[in-house]
Structure 1
Amino acid sequence: MIKVLVVDDDFRVARVHADLVGRVEGVEVAGMAHTAAQALELAVEHRPDLVLLDEHLPDERGSHLIRRLDAAVIMVTADGDADAIRRAVAGGAVAVILKPFPPNALLSRVAAFVRFRRALEGAATLDQAQVDQVLGLLHAGGAAAPPAKGRSSVTAEAIRSALESSEDALTAAGVAASIGVSRATAQRYLSDLVQSGRVELTLRYGVTGRPEHRYAWRG
């Protein structure tokens, strides 16, 4: 089992994150901490494989703890400041997730880490191609998921491109018109992307009061 330590100064947020990652197959939540001191103490006690680490803790910046935790770290923070991101990467974080985020953003990153660890099980030495392959698994959580069964990778890529190149969120009808497929087809692919966490769904209410679904690439 992959042991995960959840660190967040807000105990309610920590519980939400712990409940989420506990749903990932092969993951066990080893504990929760709300301060830097608690995080270091629990890291020694439980020896986690992965730490979900907030940046703003009451006694120290989370990014300053990374090298002392002796574990892989995913920063989970509301701080999108460029310096904070640089500190996280320099410290060795394998990913940064900005709050607020859809549940699948966290689930996919943790699941990617599980796949990465499993790929290394039993391996003694690796060649460059194998290193590239396992590192690709580690970062797969930030990439678009493979299309679901019965879906076309060409259509999925066209929809991704249409959303990514648009400055504004698009409706399913707008996506359909831009790539030349039916609205129903576009809707199926968009639903997949929303479920994977790669596309953000928002509702806009018009004059009739009926909500209009709009989609934006989260990339």
Structure 2
Amino acid sequence: MTLGVVVVDDDFRVADLHARFVTTAPGFALLGTAHTAAHALELVAQLKPDLVLLDNHLPDRPGLSVASELLCDVMIVTADSSSATVRGALAAGAVNVIVKPFTAGLLAARLAAYAKYRQILSPGAGDLGQHGVDRALAALRQGDRPPTPKGQSPVTARLVADRLRKADQPATAAEVAADLGISRATAQRYLASLAEEGRADVAMRYGSTGRPEHRYRWKTSASPADPGRSA
């Protein structure tokens, strides 16, 4: 099954970039692009896409005010990640919110998760029950998780990330290792990966032995920009 997508962004260059991202995603087809809310409504009525990547900053109307009028699924694309915008997107029925700038890989993960969600909720699925509903919603969220680096255990990666996320102060690899019952080298490897992904801050301090120690603190900000990010 191929899912049709319409891209809506007021910036022509950004719209073209996001359109190219869509064309590289397996199982998806770009149906068209729009740069205003009015044109988006026309295109959706005409082309009947499965999904719209809808920018919130449009010249004639905010994307959030348009989302509920589109007879298809919507992912809100926005540079404004405020709680009010996120709540507004979900209240308008958006299946996801993507914060600019983002990479082709991030969008591909979101689209792959959406495709699985649609497969579970296919017209022939019948009565899903609570388990089926939970499976569909969990599938939609799978694209939100960063991939585990090659050679790493997803379970250990989650334990290290949770340990850092819940900490009141920065932690060293030795402290994380002691808390989780893993080797210091293993803790160091997973902590370094979190720092490289932009999910943790790292600072240097000198320990009791006089040797420098890396201390890691969880952060909630987005990962650093890299080549291929949208504007």
Query: In the alignment, which residue of structure 2 is the partner of 1:129?
Result: 131
Distance in 2, matches of 1:154 and 1:63, equals 37
Pick which of 112-121 and 68-77 moved more: 112-121
Greater displacement, 78-87 / 131-140: 78-87
Question: Equivalent residue for 1:209?
Answer: none
Mark the CA change 1:81 to 1:44 in structure 2 (over 3 Å): closer, same or farther.
same
For 1:55, the equivalent position in structure 2 comes to 56
Gaps of 5+ in 2: 178-182, 205-213, 222-231
Alignment match, 1:13: 14
Partner Cα separation in structure 1 for residue 117 and residue 3 of structure 2: 11
1:51–1:150: structure 2 CA closer, same or farther, 3 Å change rule?
same
The TM-score with structure 1 as length reference comes to: 0.76
Alpha-carbon distance change, 12 to 108 in structure 1, aligned in 2, over 3 angstroms: same
Deviation at 1:68, TM superposition (A): 1.4
Q: Which of 193, 197, 200 is the aligned partner of 2:198?
A: 200
- C-alpha spacing 1:17/1:183, structure 2 compared with 1 (3 Å): farther
> 1:83-104 CA distances to partner (integer Å, 9 max, x unpaired)?
3222211110111122223443
Asked if 1:119 corresponds to 2:120, the answer is yes
After superposition, the Cα gap between the structure-2 partners of 1:126 and 1:179, relative to the gap in structure 1 and judged at 3 Å, is same
- Kept in 2, the 8 Å contact 1:202–1:215? The answer is yes
Contact 2:199-2:220 within 8 A present in 1 as well: no
Who is 2:74 aligned against? 73
My pick for the range that moved more, 34-43 or 133-142, is 133-142
Following superposition, the deviation at residue 42 of structure 1 comes to 0.9
How high is the sequence identity, in percent, across the aligned residues?
38
2:140 to 138, 149, 152: 138
Letter in 1 for 2:75: I
Shift of 1:75: 0.6
CA RMSD of aligned residues (A): 3.3
Residue in structure 2 matched with residue 87 of structure 1 by the alignment? 88
Residue 207 of structure 2 corresponds to none
Contact 2:22 2:30 in 1 (8 A): yes
Q: 1:56 to 1:116 in 2, by over 3 A?
A: same
Number of aligned positions between the proteins? 204
| C-alpha contact (below 8 Å) 1:201/1:216 kept by paired residues | yes
Per-residue deviation, 1:63: 0.6
TM-score, normalised by the number of residues in structure 2: 0.73
Code of the residue aligned with 1:117 in structure 2: it is R
Instruction: Give the SS at the match of 1:68.
Output: coil
Partners of 2:168 and 2:14 in 1: CA distance: 32
CA offsets, 1:168-212, max 9 Å, x none? Answer: 9x9xxx764443345577547865996xxxx327999x9xxxxx9
User: In the alignment, is the contact (CA less than 8 A) between 2:9 and 2:58 conserved in 1?
Assistant: yes
Mapped to 2, the partners of 1:34 and 1:191 lie a distance apart of: 38
Q: Structure 1's 10 and 41: CA in aligned 2 closer, same or farther, altered over 3 A? A: same
Q: Of the two, which has the highest radius of gyration?
A: 2
CA distance in 2, matches of 1:201, 1:126: 36
Q: Which runs of 5+ in 1 are unaligned?
A: 207-211
Aligned partner of 2:38 in structure 1 is 37
Inter-CA distance 193–72: structure 2 relative to 1 (3 Å threshold): farther
Q: Structure 1 residues 15 and 186 mapped into 2: Cα distance closer, same or farther (>3 Å)?
A: farther
**Partners of 2:95 and 2:141 in 1: how far apart?**
8
49-58 vs 75-84, which moves further: 75-84
Residues in 2 aligned to 1:183 and 1:8: alpha-carbon distance in whole angstroms: 46
Q: 1:129, 1:17 → 2: CA distance?
A: 34
Q: Who is 1:99 aligned against?
A: 100
Deviation at 1:38, TM superposition (A): 1.1
Q: Structure 1 residue 167: deviation in Å?
A: 8.0
